Structure 1
């Protein structure tokens, strides 16, 4: 028991240091409508006919956007037709090469097809507000790669509670969005739902090829580029971007639980440390409270967790009671992260992928140069 208590104290101290960074975090992005740059928006899409419309309409309506490029990744529905009818430039994706995950292959093709100096990549389920693209372009004055934290659309108390419980694990492991001091490359966090970069630099780095086999491609990309010397920013764009990620509680459990362990972008030692933090500071106090045997440290950790739950209300477009009830689900969330870490899930949208191919350095091996550009 003494060993467990010592570990819990160490985990609590680590969490305290990370949460304390929130006092100095960078301010949220504000709208910018007159950027001095040509901006291309690139959206990878596979069977997105049912939800890509609002994203396209918002991007196409923004006067600072020069073009919207939709890369149709072998869709079986009317994604390409809808995108073309709305006014996007549609790129028919080439067949998926061996060793690639579909999203990275689509993004690489989209960046090559884009004509703007600055590229903003969006997922089809995002809802950008006016001024987002200009704000991202302005942020690139201080960074080489920018990604942002949005506000989430979650309907129903159960879906919102589970989502908020998963979201809390990110804060406990990496701290709040908008860190004032960039973390070391191996602890960089990025959000692939919305990223911005300068097109020539990304083409030169061939970043998407270097993470071609990753399921946690966004974090892997940020960490590899940060190790190359890129300045990587993770900023708050909650007032300018909404994301409707999942249609049900079951989908939150299946899909977000699949990606949040970041197992193919994180060293094994850090995976163990991150899981230990989640179990010791979120799950264990709830379990002990439920059994009537909480320690003083458990009660303190529960108080901190409730404070975080209140703070995370701002991460949702329509926060309800589910956000405050989220701590009750922390043991389930810890179990899901552990399961997905030990048995990574490598399927998405009807495709099953093999493992990541790495070179001697432990990074993804560089692609063969074949003049594809």
Structure 2
């Protein structure tokens, strides 16, 4: 065996040591998929849940995308007692849209959360204020983001599922609306960084530190939220939904994360650049995780999502220089072909979680595995940086 083959064999062994344990962890999570809770279905309310939900929506310059949410919330029946929009001094006419909705639906109420206290991030502060001003007669608190588009029957279906399953907190993964080529290619790769790190939506997680949540649709028993002090435990978190959900789970309450693609759509960011910047910097979840867990997740993503494409491309480039591929290299290639097969299988599995009907270049969704190294790089970059600006607010002076 020549020197080149010896070196390639040694490198292959090292990569196998990195990838094999991570692959085993990934497979242990994926095999749970067939046992997950089925997607939430829209339902009609019944007498026992009427007036049981207070909805709180935080806003800051959301005029261009809040209208579908306002109309969608108006379509919910009277299981919704009130809809409190907590605005952070928007300058784009967002309050006017809420006031117009209030003319047709008296359940809407507009309030402001200004000023923002030191040590708080804007979103949890707005939600905390909405909780404090919500009706104590409501049994449930439902936080929703301005970019969501709820279907009729969402709230009733969510509450009925939570009560039937005994959840104290349950949040939903939505159906994502894609419009432009760049995001059709990049967004699914970024989403996959979450799917690789956590159990599938609909699987009960017994470890509080592995709980997943989505603040875009976040239902919690009001009594539970009062017990933990509202959003105070997530006051400085840029992933307040996961931080709060894990805190509540650690107190012994039952927390669920379910598939909501049939009841909820979301239009998060416009184009690949905004998706990379805005969503990418919160996906690391470092504010909700101990450093050891962050490092462990980075290793797993690097091993099973970031490396496979790079390894196979490297082999295609180097193979003419190898007279006889060493055995460790052949094993490494087989493992990474297997990982790519898993990746494309997962792409098929998440296809219903995307609305690509009006997307330009929607076919790029099927090439999103090619963006995996970039997506993993984005998580690494985010993990070592604290955001200094978020949704139009500056946090430069915060430690």
TM more than 0.5: yes
1:63 corresponds to: 77
Q: Aligned ranges for residues 302-317 of structure 1 at < 5 Å?
A: 302-317=340-355
1:32 corresponds to: 43
Q: Aligned ranges for residues 1-373 of structure 1 at < 5 Å?
A: 1=11, 2-35=13-46, 36-37=48-49, 38=51, 39-64=53-78, 65-87=80-102, 88-115=108-135, 116-141=138-163, 142-179=166-203, 181-293=204-316, 295-318=333-356, 320-353=362-395
Residue 176 of structure 1 aligns to a residue in which SS? coil
Kept in 2, the 8 Å contact 1:47–1:78? The answer is: yes
Kept in 2, the 8 Å contact 1:29–1:237? The answer is: yes
Moved over 6 A (4+): 354-357
Residue 182 of structure 1 aligns to a residue in which SS? coil
Q: Which runs of 5+ in 2 are unaligned?
A: 1-10, 103-107, 317-331
CA distance in 1, matches of 2:395, 2:232: 15
CA distance in 1, matches of 2:181, 2:132: 42
Residue 259 of structure 1 aligns to a residue in which SS? coil
Kept in 2, the 8 Å contact 1:146–1:234? The answer is: yes
CA distance in 1, matches of 2:349, 2:219: 27
Deviation at 1:139, TM superposition (A): 2.5
Kept in 1, the 8 Å contact 2:387–2:395? The answer is: no
CA distance in 2, matches of 1:244, 1:286: 29
CA distance in 2, matches of 1:355, 1:271: 25
| Backbone CA RMSD of aligned residues | 1.6
Larger helix share, 1 or 2: 2
Deviation at 1:285, TM superposition (A): 1.0
Kept in 2, the 8 Å contact 1:156–1:322? The answer is: no
CA distance in 2, matches of 1:34, 1:168: 34
CA distance in 2, matches of 1:163, 1:157: 10
CA distance in 1, matches of 2:271, 2:148: 17
TM-score by length of 1: 0.92
Kept in 1, the 8 Å contact 2:199–2:205? The answer is: no
Deviation at 1:183, TM superposition (A): 3.4
1:369 corresponds to: none
TM-score by length of 2: 0.86
Count the aligned residue pairs.
356
Deviation at 1:344, TM superposition (A): 2.8
Kept in 1, the 8 Å contact 2:76–2:154? The answer is: no
CA distance in 1, matches of 2:230, 2:185: 35
